[in-house]
Amino acid sequence: MPTQRLHLVFGGELVDPQKNVFRDVDDIHIVGMFPDYATAYNAWKAEAQRTVDNAHMRYFIAHLHRLRDEQTPASPTEELG
């Protein structure tokens, strides 16, 4: 069985478009969980395009498979806040 690489796509309105701080964490939009990066990327892209007129809206892809391996360092794009 191949290694499972789960990805979560989520987003919401940011306080400032230059930072990754959500305006209201209770209003975060969970797009879904995806079995591979390509599928997650397609979902992310669709949401990003849907909300393109709101400069404060941002969507992210979280690499959930990395949570199972704490030896894998997080990249700066994965650090919110």
15 belongs to a structural domain: yes
2 belongs to a structural domain: no
Q: Which two tokens stand for residue 46?
A: 């669709």
Question: Domain total for the chain?
Answer: 1
Q: What is the CATH number of the domain that holds 53?
A: 3.30.70.2400
pTM above 0.75, yes or no: yes
1 belongs to a structural domain: no
Cα separation of 54 and 65, whole Å? 30
Cα separation of 31 and 9, whole Å? 5
Q: Residue 1: which pLDDT band, with cuts at 50, 70 and 90?
A: low
37 belongs to a structural domain: yes
Three-state DSSP state, 51: coil
Q: What is the pLDDT of residues 41-55, one digit of tens each?
A: 999 999 999 999 999
Instruction: Give the residue numbers spanning the domain of 11.
Output: 7-78
Closest residue by Cα to residue 47 from 25, 31, 64, 28: 31
39 belongs to a structural domain: yes
13 belongs to a structural domain: yes
